[in-house]
A and B are shown apart, each in its own frame.
Chain A
Amino acid sequence: MKITTKLALACTTAMLGTAAHGEAHSSTYTIGITQNNVGVDSYQTTYEQAFIAAAEANENVDVVVLDAGGDVARQIAQMEDLIQQDVDAIIIWPTNGEAVIPAVRKASQAEIPVIVTNSNIAEEGFDFVASFSGPDNITQGSRSAEIMCDRFKDLGIETEAQVVQISGQPGYTTAIERAKGFEDRLPEVCPDVTLVETQPGDWNREKSQQVMEAFLVKYDDIDGVYAGDDNMGVGALNAAFAAGRAEGITFVGATNFAVGYEAMGRGEYWGSIYQSPVDDAEAALQTAIDVLDGEDIPFLNYFDTPKITQDNMDEFTKPVF
């Protein structure tokens, strides 16, 4: 028994050491966050760092930062723990937009406001959520359309240009909304530009490359390619290079990735939408504070995702992902 106790003590002391930097002082709000999967990509890692930094900068806020590690069961347990700890508000980055709805309902029954961050939960759960803080995908789509149209005007081809679209994975809200934003806005700004065809690239670079190869065979005249994110956009760019037709084509994406940023730096890729994990994290914390302050905030509380093109790219740092 003695050895066990000693070992256990040694381990618990180790835990105390690692835990010691989480400080406890009384303050106005305690906000808990349960994240999706920190460490799986640098967007989420940067998000967590930015969130902690923003919370430390605000002395009226204490945060409990948890990570579900991509495991729905663990996220639900963390929601229950946060409810049990009686935090003032809970921010959740859903591991699964539907599986967490009952847990969100529990929080709302305990009268704890829930703020969904980054990607929204399914509509059935909207009644239990105070606010959603994240990117506005429809605006992202329409801004991409504006970038494309402005470029065509500069090139003087806005009366006859032909555009193809590579959309994200079918069924994903993000994919549907970006496509809708683009398709609705393009005829408004450039009525004479035609969108000749749309095919899904499933967020996948290789798939998008194949889709683009097919487009290049099918159409002799392609002036612009809109991709649902830069990953797919770069896939399309590679296909155009292979066919020797990259020169005359304007590539516009969304969610500026490092590969897209680099291709823009080389002058091969025209523009995208800049979505910063730092803005995402700060917006989520601010939304939670505003909800607790009783301020009137919209149910869908978007943070700004600006346009980035070859012209203004030096105003932005290279994305970490």
Chain B
Amino acid sequence: MKNETRVNLIKQGAIWAFIVVELIFFSVAGEFLSVSDKAFMNFDNMLLLLKQSAPIGIIALGMTIVMINGNIDLSVGATFALAAIVLLDSMTWPFMEALGNWAIPLAWFFALTTGVVLGAINGLIVWKTGVDAFIVTLGSMLGFRGLVFMYNGEQPTSHLNWTLVDFAEAQFLGLHTATWFLLGAALLLWLLMTKTVHGRNAYAIGNNRDAAVNAGIRVGPHFLWNFMLIGFLAALSAVVFYSESGSVNPNDGMLYELWAITAVVLGGTKLSGGYGSIVSTLGGVIAIQLLRKGLGHIGADTETVNLVIGLILIAVLFLDRQLNRKGKEELRT
């Protein structure tokens, strides 16, 4: 038991230790390599870091829950783009324009509803057909992206609303709007996963689905709720981000699913389900954004980021495997 706690501690502490290493490395390297006079560990820069983590971060939080379930959602990038289009396009509809700035909350509502509906489609198919979530969401990733292109062809969908931009750029108690959404979502989901029956069921299903069914957990509806949740979060991410930028390219959000999964795995969540934590995912997201930011700061090629993250990802999985094997061996003796 004591051993298990220690292993858990290492697993959950690892990502934060890595973040500390990154901070030290970029601070030191920045002194020598950066053309900027400003320190990397500048307070404003760290606030910016949190803000820039938000778009992928909010999605990754949802991905954590889906992955704890033992599922995966590859369609989040397309959901993100479609919600963004609904957000921006709905504000140009005549009745919405007549509402003035009251159109903004309504447009948010439309976008979030879009996300929930798309998530529900995934969830229902997974529930009713029993097809693996990987395949179902692979299909919907392509399908939803097709809808994105059908909406406006290859043209960007644009609507620049300065009230919205000012809101999104605002800083309350020092933190940017996007950061509040990220931290708020993280807090709520952490509560959901640790303090509620739904959260405990998520772990139980991921650990052993048959046992969970036998224990009377209704797995299908449980999946449906989680897919609706991740759809909602993908749309929320779009709402937060596009409030600030006002134009969406039809290929926006591509590869976001992979970045989100990377962040989740970096945070120690198991691909096979049953194990993971919201807080560690937050760490994984910050670690990725820190790498992007830091490598830019010291003047390295942007492509280096991908190489380094790839290496780290493999290292993390290897480490995870080693720790788990050790745990099992010690149990046997």
Chain A residues within 8 Å of B, Cβ to Cβ: 1, 3-5, 7-9, 11-12, 14-16, 18-20, 22-24, 30, 38-39, 62-67, 69-74, 76-78, 80-81, 84-87, 95-103, 105-106, 122, 124, 169, 171
Contact = CB atoms under 8 A, between A and B. Distances in A.
A293 B18 CA distance: 43
B270 interface: no
B18 A4 contact: yes
Contact of B245 (A11, A20, A30, A100): A100
Contacts of B135: none
6 contacts: A3-B319, A38-B302, A72-B249, A85-B34, A96-B248, A99-B246
Nearest to A94: B247
Contacts of A30: 35-36
B103 interface: no
Q: Which size class do B's interface residues fall under?
A: 35 or more
Given A12-B22, A77-B292, A100-B245, A4 B36 contact: no
A244 B44 CA distance: 67
Given A69-B302, A98-B246, A122-B160, 9 more contacts: A7-B312, A8-B17, A22-B298, A24-B299, A66-B296, A66-B302, A73-B252, A78-B296, A80-B48
Given A77-B52, A86-B37, A22 B299 contact: yes
Contacts of B14: 1, 4
B247 A99 contact: yes
Given A12-B25, A19-B29, A86-B37, A98 B308 contact: no
B298 A19 contact: yes
Interface centre among A1, A11, A23, A30 (most CB of B within 10 A): A11
B160 A18 contact: no
A102 B245 contact: yes
Contacts of A18: 300-301, 304, 307
Contacts of B155: 171
Nearest to B29: A16
Given A11-B308, A80-B52, A98 B292 contact: no
A70 B115 CA distance: 24
From DSSP, what is the main secondary structure of chain B's interface residues?
A: helix
B138 interface: no
Nearest to B306: A69
Contacts of A12: 21-22, 25
Listed from nearest, the 10 A-B pairs whose CB atoms lie closest are A22-B299, A98-B247, A85-B36, A19-B300, A99-B247, A99-B245, A62-B35, A77-B52, A67-B302, A98-B158
B93 interface: no
B33 interface: yes
B311 A14 contact: yes
B160 A4 contact: no
Contacts of B10: 1, 4
B55 interface: yes
Contact of A7 (B37, B45, B302, B319): B319
Contacts of A124: 160
B214 interface: no
A99 B249 contact: yes
Contacts of B298: 19, 22
Contacts of A96: 156, 245, 247-249
Contacts of A74: 292
Contact of A64 (B249, B251, B299): B299
B311 A1 contact: no
Given A70-B251, A72-B245, A22 B33 contact: yes
Contacts of B120: none
A1 B17 contact: yes
A22 B315 CA distance: 27
